[in-house]
Structure 1
């Protein structure tokens, strides 16, 4: 029993002596690591200071600052361990981290993919904070761009969180990428109206709206001869190109166009259809060259319609004759 206690005491005493021997190295390693820590913190602050003036770059500066800080701290840890443990080789730890990194990469593939996509979005800046974008079924204002996801605020007050990998690999429409934006709307007028006069009135209405830019100038173009209307496309430019300005200018432009056209006798017809009824009792029934539903264009002799009362009377007579025949009276 005494021998066991003695061996344990000798082991503890050896550990204490080894610690005393390593104490100068430990103190030196702490000093070196502290120096690396201070340098890493200052570099992080420097990166944030360099990107402070640009709102979009603040997120990028924060990310790059953290990456730089982590890299320097990791390097300081390697140096401190080499001082405390002279037999320690950084290559062994790097090899171990490389093997672990592969396993971690497979386990957190989506997270790493979103992280890299976030870095690329912050670097390339396809859109910025406060831009209004359209992505698939979502449309709104960009609130924040982080390394994992981008958040947008929809026009009806909802927050949408979109993974950065989705944004980076799919098409995104940036409505506020440029200073000006063109809007358009199709207005249908009647076939009997004067097209040139209608176009002139529409341009007058456009120029009367303050939100419509004089340059680039608005224009009106005939786009389609539809079933019931002649469709004229009205196009105008606004600045700034945000959603609220879009709705305001659209409201004023369409109101001005409608009032101007109506005041000047231009028809804005409803969809109409022409229906020809055929009572199947005309003498020309079955003759496609003569019956009223399909007579050739320019034909001088048009079959005259038969009054519905005569058709009903003839139908009643035919029905009576049929009944008499069935009853043997004829």
Structure 2
């Protein structure tokens, strides 16, 4: 069977000729895009410089410089496409973008939401780069506030990427929002100890520690009457309020109090429990028809030890005493 290849060959020649004709347009389009790359870099540096001179935080300057750079690059891509494909006019291109805008909006809804949340975070500044924050189960230092997400470095040197919309809509604790921070530890003393004397000793001990502020001064309050101890809430202030200072301050306070209280005769009680069986308690506790612990009632209730001792005494009193003169 003879195959007619002339039509195929002619089609390939036309495609090759069209490609060769398009090569100059491709080169010019790439050159235009490279020029816009340089313009985008210059615009980004200019925005960063202006934001820095205006006293804006580094995060705001960084994000807005990125946005300007992306806008310039988007214009560069459109111009390069119109150069490479002369039949593609700006009107048709924007018309196609308008038709597909709804689909793009639904597809990139989360990205646009995070972008807007990131801009609002940078404008309202609830926290800044370098702050130590707590968001949900994550705690660490804010390394960067990007357009889509915020980078958090945890204290065990791991990176957590948190979407900006989550940070903007949920609760965030900023530990370094203020120059000073109050910490507290709980210390238990015995019920027989003097609370006022223990308070005075703890305050004296805290006064000799480095890293604690004297204004505001430390304080000691009775927190609760626990099961086996009187719990005292020891409060003190530190500056700066960073994680390292907080951990070291708590460590020093607990160690100093642990050494000072027993040396002065105060008790640091351990948890204790006392278990009593029914025959070791009151007579009514051994009576299952009257007790309230939920035991099933029965008729032959075991007698308690008190009842047994009382009956033994009564029996001993009823027995006749031997006559000493009988012999």
- The reply to whether TM is greater than 0.5 is yes
Separation in structure 1 between the aligned mates of residue 75 and residue 154 of structure 2, nearest angstrom:
44
Separation in structure 1 between the aligned mates of residue 36 and residue 164 of structure 2, nearest angstrom:
33
| Structure 2 CA distance for partners of 1:252 and 1:284, relative to 1, 3 Å | closer
1:212 matched to 2:212: yes
How many angstroms does 1:258 deviate by?
1.6
1:173 matched to 2:173: yes
**Higher mean displacement: 61-70 or 225-234:** 61-70
| Structure 2 CA distance for partners of 1:43 and 1:156, relative to 1, 3 Å | closer
Q: What residue in structure 2 maps to residue 200 of structure 1?
A: 200
| Structure 2 CA distance for partners of 1:229 and 1:135, relative to 1, 3 Å | same
Q: What residue in structure 2 maps to residue 126 of structure 1?
A: 126
Question: Cα deviation per residue 1:160-203 (whole Å; 9 max; x = unaligned)?
Answer: 11122211111111111111110001111111111111111111
Separation in structure 2 between the aligned mates of residue 43 and residue 278 of structure 1, nearest angstrom:
86
Separation in structure 1 between the aligned mates of residue 282 and residue 132 of structure 2, nearest angstrom:
65
| Structure 2 CA distance for partners of 1:273 and 1:54, relative to 1, 3 Å | farther
Q: What residue in structure 2 maps to residue 221 of structure 1?
A: 221
8 Å contact from structure 1 (residues 56, 129) kept in 2: no
Say which SS state the counterpart of residue 279 (structure 1) adopts: helix
Q: What residue in structure 1 maps to residue 230 of structure 2?
A: 230
Q: What residue in structure 2 maps to residue 184 of structure 1?
A: 184
Say which SS state the counterpart of residue 51 (structure 1) adopts: helix
Say which SS state the counterpart of residue 106 (structure 1) adopts: helix
Q: What residue in structure 2 maps to residue 103 of structure 1?
A: 103
Q: What residue in structure 1 maps to residue 255 of structure 2?
A: 255
Separation in structure 1 between the aligned mates of residue 55 and residue 150 of structure 2, nearest angstrom:
15
8 Å contact from structure 1 (residues 221, 234) kept in 2: yes
**Higher mean displacement: 102-111 or 197-206:** 102-111
Q: What residue in structure 1 maps to residue 163 of structure 2?
A: 163
CA RMSD in angstroms comes to 4.4
Question: Cα deviation per residue 1:79-127 (whole Å; 9 max; x = unaligned)?
Answer: 99999x9x99866544432222221111122222222222222222221
Q: What residue in structure 1 maps to residue 49 of structure 2?
A: 49
Q: What residue in structure 1 maps to residue 324 of structure 2?
A: none
Question: Cα deviation per residue 1:286-306 (whole Å; 9 max; x = unaligned)?
Answer: 689xx9xxxxxxxxxxxx975
Say which SS state the counterpart of residue 232 (structure 2) adopts: strand
How many angstroms does 1:67 deviate by?
2.9
8 Å contact from structure 1 (residues 140, 153) kept in 2: yes
| Structure 2 CA distance for partners of 1:228 and 1:54, relative to 1, 3 Å | farther
Say which SS state the counterpart of residue 57 (structure 2) adopts: helix
**Higher mean displacement: 112-121 or 35-44:** 35-44
Q: What residue in structure 2 maps to residue 145 of structure 1?
A: 145
| Structure 2 CA distance for partners of 1:56 and 1:184, relative to 1, 3 Å | farther
Aligned length: 279
Query: What does residue range 68-87 of structure 1 map to in structure 2 within 5 Å?
Result: 68-71=68-71
How many angstroms does 1:264 deviate by?
1.0
How many angstroms does 1:132 deviate by?
1.1
Q: TM-score, normalised by structure 2?
A: 0.69
- Structure 2 unpaired stretches of 5+: 1-9, 11-16, 22-27, 292-303, 313-327
Separation in structure 2 between the aligned mates of residue 149 and residue 82 of structure 1, nearest angstrom:
34
**Higher mean displacement: 62-71 or 112-121:** 62-71
- Structure 1 unpaired stretches of 5+: 6-11, 17-26, 292-303, 315-330
